[in-house]
Amino acid sequence: MHFTTLLIEPPGTDSQLINLMLAPEKFHVKTAECGPAAWNLILENDPPDLVIIDTDLPLAGNVRIGAAQLLDLMSERLRWRNAPKLMLTSDDSAAIFQQSNKKSVCAAILKPYDPRRFIHEVYCCIRKQLDAHIKEVNRQHIELGTEIKSVAKLYNQNAIKGRLKEILNSLERHFEFEEEFMLQHYYPDLKAHQKGHRRLFDNAKELIDELCRSDQVITGAKIDQIIDNVFDGVDDDKKYIAFLYDLLESLTSHITTGNTAVCAGK
């Protein structure tokens, strides 16, 4: 697998067990053993694919940071806000589960828990995150196409030039969005895809810069030329989307198999 996990769990048997369970699944696990350590990790790093947080963190020392404060911090930070969170708790009160619903917690598991249930929930959380990423990639592709086509409906040449520059910025942000995920998840064709992105961006920039400098009227044919250039890398994108769907299918298969095993063990 290709997924990162932040485990916020005090040292001990539970932490060792979770690491043992995740190791065969090929997750990359980073551990924070106390509230202050987790706090610093959240401030200094990008969010992982999954946060596993134990609500029974000890409140020791001068800096008393528990699970509630960490969940609040993640809610306040834009990139961490929607990171899926799996909460482990020994508190069976309704309040803890109500709190989890407000903090992007995808599941709360009452301790002691069945290891098979734990792994099942891990995969469910990761699957939701991956599914959301696929939808966002597809949404951005559609939005880029719509943005470019909308330029043809403008009549004011200055407005057209301004919109073309905005499209170039959108294209750059889209490439960065894709490449960040590829890098974090060990996409095997990353270098080739990056090279394709650079070629597409350089060609689009050259064409748009030329149009914006020129006094000639920007015609529909020129807009079509930009569209052809931007979507010239569609085969690379198809390969990337196929990679994402393969990951999603592997998660779905694991969830289905794991759910059968849990039911059989009851």
Mean pLDDT value of segment 94-99? 64
Which domain-ending residue is among 53, 86, 113? 113
pLDDT in tens, 114-135: 888 899 999 899 988 899 999 9
Percent of the chain with pLDDT over 70: 89
| pLDDT above 80 for 198 | yes
Residues 107 and 132 in one domain: no
Check if the beta carbon of residue 54 is closer than 8 Å to that of residue 14: yes
Residues 106 and 132 in one domain: no
Helices (H), 114-189: 115-151, 157-184
Instruction: Give the chain's domain count.
Output: 2
pLDDT in tens, 200-256: 999 889 988 888 888 877 777 878 887 777 776 667 888 999 998 888 887 777 666
Residues 178 and 68 in one domain: no
176 belongs to a structural domain: yes
Mean residue pLDDT across the chain: 85
pLDDT in tens, 175-191: 999 999 999 888 999 99
Name the more confident of 7 and 95.
Answer: 7
pLDDT at 92: 75
Label residue 257 by pLDDT band (50, 70, 90): low
206 belongs to a structural domain: yes
Helix and strand numbers, DSSP H then E, in the chain: 10, 5
Residues 97 and 192 in one domain: no
Residues 82 and 166 in one domain: no
CATH label of the domain that carries residue 191: 1.20.120
Segment holding 36, helix H or strand E = helix 35-44
Give residues with Cβ within 8 angstroms of 102, minimum separation 6: none
Name the more confident of 139 and 13.
Answer: 139
For residue 226, the Cα-to-chain-centroid distance in whole angstroms is: 29
pLDDT in tens, 82-93: 899 999 988 776
Token pair in block for residue 79? 């990139």
pLDDT at 101: 63
Q: Decide: residue 53, CB within 10 A, 0-12 exposed, 13-18 middle, 19+ buried.
A: buried
Segment holding 52, helix H or strand E = strand 50-54
Check if the beta carbon of residue 54 is closer than 8 Å to that of residue 9: yes
Partner residues linked to 8 by β-bridges: 32, 53
Q: Which domain holds residue 60?
A: 4-113
Q: How many CB atoms lie within 10 A of CB 213?
A: 9
Residues 74 and 11 in one domain: yes
Name the more confident of 216 and 78.
Answer: 78
pLDDT at 265: 45
Of 8-22, 145-159, 195-209, least confident by mean pLDDT is 145-159
Check if the beta carbon of residue 19 is closer than 8 Å to that of residue 32: no
Partner residues linked to 29 by β-bridges: 5
Residues 63 and 137 in one domain: no
Closest by CA to 87, choosing from 65, 105, 111, is: 105
| pLDDT above 60 for 6 | yes
